[in-house]
């Protein structure tokens, strides 16, 4: 009879874990979108760096999605893409850099 009992605390832990990563997901996606805007704008002046910034933003969005599965690796991907974005298009990517960096740090250090 005890075999059919559902472990409610385990179910609660799983839903809280998924719910707690929405901040990182949202910040990462918004930061990636701002990085995409900066990259497209930078394409007008220096096409190579603009393309690099677009790639960094796409990697950042992928890292933000990956945070829901593995927060530490996703956070590392977010931090790497934020630095990559800042190096590529410095001034145009500042907002994307800040949002991606915050999302990465929160993903790594949040329990």
Q: What is the tens place of the pLDDT at every residue in 8-52?
A: 555 555 555 555 789 999 999 999 999 999 999 999 999 999 999
Q: Is 5 within the bounds of a domain?
A: no
Q: Is 36 within the bounds of a domain?
A: yes
- Residue span of the structural domain in which 62 resides: 25-109
Best CA proximity match to 38, nearest among 81, 91, 100, 77: 91
Best CA proximity match to 52, nearest among 64, 62, 40, 67: 40
Q: What is the pTM of this model?
A: 0.81
Indicate the number of domains in the chain.
1
Backbone angles phi, psi at 5, to 5 degrees: -80, 130
Q: Is 15 within the bounds of a domain?
A: no
Q: Is 69 within the bounds of a domain?
A: yes
User: What pLDDT shows up at residue 110?
Assistant: 86
Best CA proximity match to 24, nearest among 67, 77, 87: 67
Q: Is 6 within the bounds of a domain?
A: no
Distance (Å, rounded) from C-alpha 107 to C-alpha 25?
9
Best CA proximity match to 64, nearest among 29, 101, 18: 29
Q: Is 84 within the bounds of a domain?
A: yes
**What would the pLDDT profile of 48-68 be if each residue is shown by its tens digit?**
999 999 999 999 999 999 999
Q: Is 70 within the bounds of a domain?
A: yes
Q: Is 7 within the bounds of a domain?
A: no
């Amino acid at each position: 009879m005890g075999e059919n009992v559902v472990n409610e605390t385990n179910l609660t832990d799983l839903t809280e874990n998924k719910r707690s990563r929405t901040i990182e997901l949202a910040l990462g996606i918004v930061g990636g979108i701002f990085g995409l805007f900066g990259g497209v704008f930078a394409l007008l002046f220096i096409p190579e760096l603009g393309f690099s910034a677009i790639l960094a933003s796409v990697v950042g969005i992928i890292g933000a999605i990956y945070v829901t599965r593995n927060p530490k690796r996703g956070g590392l991907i977010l931090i790497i893409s934020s630095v990559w974005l800042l190096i590529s298009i410095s001034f145009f990517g500042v907002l994307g850099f800040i949002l991606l960096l915050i999302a990465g740090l929160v993903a790594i250090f949040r329990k």
